[in-house]
Amino acid sequence: MKEFKKVLGVYGPGSTHWVGDGFHVRNLFPSNGIEKQIDPFLMLDYAGPTAVAPSQRPRGVDEHPHRGFETVTIAYQGAVEHRDSGGNSGTIYPGDVQWMTAASGVVHEEKHEREFTKRGGTFEMVQLWVNLPKAYKMSAPRYQALSKDRIPVVALGEAGEARIIAGAWNGTAGAARTFTPINVFDLRLNGGTSTEFDLPAGHNSVLVLLKGLVVVNGDKELKGEAQLALLDSQGERVSLKTRGDSVLLILSGEPLHEPVASYGPFVMNTREELTQAVADYNAGKMGRLEPIR
């Protein structure tokens, strides 16, 4: 008989702010002070849903660096164009995922896609930061463009479906390559249904409700938008009962148990490594973006 993972706490957004001039976000961590309990996950911003007026100039975040971790952007509504100093570029549309491994250092920009900029509309995305082990922090950057049709979908009967972005669900492997064991599942659940799922014992885990109403393990309620349930690392099972159509993310990962030193867009193990990261960026060692002509 598998033991249920206990719900240790339920949290709303710890902060609300703009990222650049294009992404109005609600931060669920680290602003709630639970970062040590969700290692290897570092940050989660829920952008939108935001009504974006038509514009002639793409909004977003201009050129900026990262080192020591990965960014995972999951698109629900709207579209974002990306380009980086490694020569990667692309656009993510609803259902697509961009998985960028900054590792030793990359410079990139994220802007509303040009046609979306012109016509406006509703913008909704999630950006998750995943820490890298010390052994891989200075490895070569890489970029995974995971289009909607590349992400496996598992049917959950009348309850709905789960998209397996990373990790594995009942033998179905996710689309993303990861450095350590992590699961990223994107669920669409129908109202008035129940489902159970297994997560590895020892994994740090959270449920992130984007919208809807879900009762976890029969007694803890997530309701509305931008709600997070922190789960105990012990136990192997979680139950969900919906009282309305719901969209949520399930995140679980094997903890790294390594020191974390962070400064803005850099996440390393020591303060000295952060100082070196700043120096390397200022010296152009992470590259630069060519001006758009």
**pLDDT mean across residues, the chain:** 96
d(CA 256, CA 113): 35
Measured CA to CA in angstroms, residue 212 lies from 58, 181, 242, 243 at distances of: 31, 28, 8, 8
| pLDDT tens string 224-282 | 999 999 999 999 999 999 999 999 999 999 999 999 999 999 999 999 999 999 999 99
- Give the domain 11-150 fold: Jelly Rolls (2.60.120)
Q: Tell me what pLDDT residue 290 has.
A: 78
Beta strands in 167-231 (DSSP E): 168-169, 172-173, 182-189, 194-198, 204-216, 220-231
| pLDDT tens string 20-54 | 999 999 999 999 999 999 999 999 999 999 999 99
pLDDT at 187 over 90: yes
From 2.60.120.10, 3.40.50.11540, 2.40.110.10, 1.10.760.10, which CATH number describes the 151-258 domain? 2.60.120.10
**What percentage of the chain has pLDDT greater than the value 70?**
99
d(CA 248, CA 226): 9
| pLDDT tens string 69-120 | 999 999 999 999 999 999 999 999 999 999 999 999 999 999 999 999 999 9
Q: Tell me what pLDDT residue 1 has.
A: 75
Domain 11-150 shares a fold with domain 151-258: yes
Q: Where are the domains of the chain?
A: 11-150, 151-258
pLDDT at 292 over 80: no
| pLDDT tens string 218-240 | 999 999 999 999 999 999 999 99
d(CA 224, CA 226): 7
Residue whose C-alpha is closest to residue 255's, from 30, 38, 29: 38
